[in-house]
Amino acid sequence: MTTRTATTKPADDQPFDFNLDAVQSEVDLTPWRVHWSGQRWEFAHMQALDVWPLMEAAEGGDADAMIGVFRTALGAEQWAEFRKRPLPQYKMKALFDAYRAHSGLAEGESAASSGS
């Protein structure tokens, strides 16, 4: 029988292979502002969004992924207000395409897959 030993986690002051804390965005992460239904909405830049809720939403397919991006980009308070307004599908697609273009992402490229 083989005995496994736990790997000791190095102290934070020890050398590391990659410092993710030092990584900076290569693009300007200015929020995107939209006028819709008589109101101004501010979406966080797509490349600045937290990937975890986006990945969870993507498990439900393309429509859920798109909604997950909007929900995350608007934040809870704006999202709740945004959802109260009817949004035709053709406007949702136009909104997503323009948002993706603002964020410097090619068609078919998601916020979670952006990387340079």
The length of the chain, given as a count of residues: 116
- pLDDT at res. 115: 44
Give 10-residue mean pLDDT values along the chain (116 residues). Answer: 63 84 94 97 97 96 94 97 95 95 78 47
- pLDDT at res. 116: 41
CA 44 and chain centroid, separation: 8
Q: Look up residue 59 and give its amino acid.
A: E
- pLDDT at res. 80: 97
Answer yes or no: are the C-beta atoms of 50 and 72 closer than 8 Å: yes
- pLDDT at res. 106: 75
Global pTM reads 0.77
Phi, psi of 33 (to 5 degrees): -110, 135
